[in-house]
Amino acid sequence: MTGPDTSRVVVERDFACPPARLWRALTEPHLIAEWLMRSDFAPVPGREFHFGADWGDVACQVLSVEPPLSLAYHWAAFGLDSTVTWTLTATAGGTRLRMEQVGFRPDQRKAFLGARASWPHYLAALEGVVDRLADSG
């Protein structure tokens, strides 16, 4: 019998908005800061950027960008070298967002558990940002 996959974290959530609005919240630094962390992100393949929080920084590099359908970046912090991929799929009611973070080694259980616990909270905060964008036009 095989145990649970601890090499990846996947979170999916449906949003009642078009992909373009969700894309803004995923790629505009001032909006990213509202739901994830401070950053100097730009959706340009090869661009190096950082996420910053009180607990430290995450060094990143944009791997791929396909507006408004997918975005992937390298995520490195505290010995974790992983890839975060965002996939947006239009649905009848809006957009299905899939976040997948891969690259957790077996000896990084604490990082895996932290990511698995944190990403759903980040996506809940993202929903609040997206809802506010709808209200502001």
| Domain at 101, CATH number | 3.30.530.20
Cα distance between residue 49 and residue 41, in whole Å: 5
User: What integer pLDDT is reported at residue 131 of this predicted model?
Assistant: 93
31 and 21 Cβ atoms separated by less than 8 Å: no
> How many CB atoms are closer than 10 A to CB 29?
12
pLDDT digits (tens, 9 = 90+) for 64-102: 999 999 999 999 998 999 999 999 999 999 999 999 999
Q: Is residue 117 part of a domain?
A: yes
User: What integer pLDDT is reported at residue 6 of this predicted model?
Assistant: 76
Residue 1's pLDDT band (cuts 50, 70, 90):
very low
Full domain range(s) for residue 41: 9-125
Q: Is residue 137 part of a domain?
A: no
Mean pLDDT of 11-22: 96
pTM value is: 0.93
User: What integer pLDDT is reported at residue 31 of this predicted model?
Assistant: 98
Residue 3's pLDDT band (cuts 50, 70, 90):
low
